[in-house]
Structures are given as C-alpha cells and as structure tokens.
Amino acid sequence: MEDMSRYPLQLEGADVPMVSFKNVTKAYGSLTVLENLDLDIREGEMVSVIGPSGSGKTTVLRMLMLERIQQGVIYVNGKPITHMEKNGGLVPADDKYLRKAREPIGMCFQHFNLFPHMTALQNCMEGPVQVLGMSKRAARERSEDLLELVGMIDKKDQHPSRLSGGQQQRVAIARALAMRPKVMLFDEVTSALDPEVIGEVTNVIKKLVAEHNLTMLMVTHQMGFAKDISDRVCFFFGGKIEEQGPPEQLFDHPQKERTQQFLSAVKSAD
C-alpha cells in the first residue's frame, strides 16, 4: 500500500490548478499504461494531449471520469476526486463520493454515446433533471440555449439515429455542457467523423475556447486544430509526458527526438 500522508487533503493557496495529477499510475492488470504522471492544468487552460496509440493519452481522460487509479491522487479544483478524507487521511473514494466529485467534469466521446431512445433535447435534459435535480422547465431552457450554441436547435426533437455524426457530436457537447462543468474532456471527438463535418465540431470547440472560461483537456489526432486552439500541448509516449509546451514551440521546434519522429510521421501521413 502506498503511503498517502505525502498527499495533501486538499490543495490550497492562491494559484490552485483546476486539475492536478500527482504521481498518478494507472495499470490494467500487469500492463502499466501511465506511470508517475504529474500534470497541472490551470483554470481556463486548454491543454491538448497528443501521441501515438498506446501512449496512454486517452487514459489521462478516462482516469478523470471513468476509471480508478493504482497510485497517486487526482485533484479537481483543489479537492481530491480519486480519494476521500477519512480519519484525517486519504482513502480510495467509494462510488458515491466518486460520482459527486466527478460532477464538475464533463466528457465527450469519440463515438458520441448519445442515448438513442431520447431526442436531442431529452439527451441534454437528462443530467440536469436526474442528477442536478433541476425542474424540467429550467432544464429545457438551459438545454435549448446550449443546443442553440452548438447550432442544433432546429433538430432538438430528433432522435440520434436521424442525425449525422457531426450533428450527434454537437448534441453530445451540449449534453455535457448542460451539467455546467468546470472541466471539459474531449476524447478524440473528431476521429469517428467524416472529413467534411469535422469543421462543424471543431468550430463549436473553438467557440467554447473563445467565449467561455472552461478548463479543457483534449485528446486529438488533428495536429492543426491542436496547434490553433491550445494553450499547451503535451506529447505522451510510453505512459509518460515526453515533452510539453506552447503549441508553436512543440510543433515547430520540438526538442525531443521522439516528438520529432512522431510529428514527422503524422505530417507525412497527411
């Protein structure tokens, strides 16, 4: 067992990061996918995660939302989400605490994962009504505003099966935003889309970056997009951050050899 006393019960101070990974290790059985990860993300920062498949980049997002970790602590807004306080120390969080702690986080998936038996509007209202306990009227208003924001208001009564991939992904973004998250996670949200509709999704994300003070963590294969909108880019390799920095620096003057290899491989594939 790990000695938990080295991790603070919560992060305090003037400049507490919105998301903070402290010495985090994640393994599936005997396969370690992320090792001793330390990563801080400031409030309002847009961080892109790039890297070859199997580098652990998607796992970074999944640990915040879907999975338990083997070592270390993740803090969101200064509070631990993977652990809870008990008798003055940190113990692994139980399901109930975990659910509550993850409420300030929203996530969008590669395959949208909209609820197929609900309309676009019902998809957006589900969280606010069932989890936040909002009235249906208030939830409907909020959801309609968000569907307007992503340009899907005229399709609000359609089921996902009647929508294109790009449209479904935009509804999925609205659904996540309806929970008023402080942190948004985008997991390869354009990877399953036809090339001609990628723009409509990236435009929505650009709009969020420009107009909202959301903290965002995005795994992507679209280097151009990552370069355009990120404040910082992290290149993952072999379960570790190999290199990170502002997009101009990382894309135009990568320092590490592996980063250079990866970027040139991506470029020649384009």
Partner 1 sequence: MMFDWRWDFTWEILPRLISATANTLLAAGAGYGIAIVLGLVLALSQRTPYRLLTLVVREFVEFIRSTPLVLQIFFVFFVGPQIGIRLSPWTSGMIAIGLHYSAYLSEVYRGGLNSVPVGQWEACSALSLSTRKTYWRIIIPQALPACFAGMGNYLVGILKDTPMLSVIGVAELMHTANAIGSESYRFLEPYTLVGIIFLLVSLPTAGLVRISEMWVRRKLGVY
DSSP letter, residue 163: S
**C-alpha to C-alpha distance for 17 and 78, rounded to whole angstroms:** 7
Q: Which amino acid is at 64?
A: L
Nearer to partner 1, 127 or 247 (CB): 127
The first and second tokens of residue 216, run together, are 């965002």
- DSSP code string of 31-53: EEEEEEEEEEE-TT-EEEEE--T
Residue 131 contacts partner 1 per CB under 8 A: yes
Beta-bridge mates of residue 49: 219, 234
Closest CB to partner 1 among residues 102, 156? 102
How many residues contact partner 1, by CB under 8 A?
29
Q: How far is the CB of 191 from partner 1 (least distance, A)?
A: 14
Q: How many CB atoms are closer than 10 A to CB 234?
A: 23
Which residue matches tokens 């996902």?
160
Q: Which of 51, 80, 106, 254 binds partner 1 (CB under 8 A)?
A: 106
**Binding span for partner 1 by CB under 8 A among 1-9, 93-101, 214-222, 228-236:** 93-101
Edge-to-edge strand list for the sheet holding 79-80: 31-41, 19-28, 71-76, 79-80
Nearer Cβ to partner 1 (159/206): 159
The residue (of 165 and 238) whose beta carbon lies closer to partner 1 is: 165
- Give strand pairing partners of 32: 27
Among 65, 197, 263, 266, binds partner 1 (CB under 8 A): 65
The span from the CA of 185 to the CA of 64, in Å, is 9
Beta carbon of residue 73, minimum distance to partner 1 (angstroms, whole number) = 20
Residue type, 1: M
Residue 106 Cβ, how far from partner 1 at the closest point, in Å?
Answer: 7
DSSP alpha helix (H) spans, 20-164: 57-65, 95-101, 120-130, 136-149
Whichever of 183 and 250 has its CB closer to partner 1, that residue is 183
Least Cβ distance, residue 178 to partner 1 (angstroms) = 9
Binders of partner 1 among residues 165 to 194 (CB under 8 A) are 175-176, 179
Q: Is 127 in the site for partner 1 (CB under 8 A)?
A: yes
Closest approach of Cβ 124 to partner 1, in Å? 10
Q: Does 161 bind partner 1 (CB under 8 A)?
A: yes
- Nearest one of 22, 89, 34 to 62, comparing CA atoms: 34
Which residue ranges make up the site for partner 1 (CB under 8 A)? 65-66, 95, 99-100, 102-103, 105-107, 109, 111, 113-119, 126-127, 130-131, 159-161, 175-176, 179
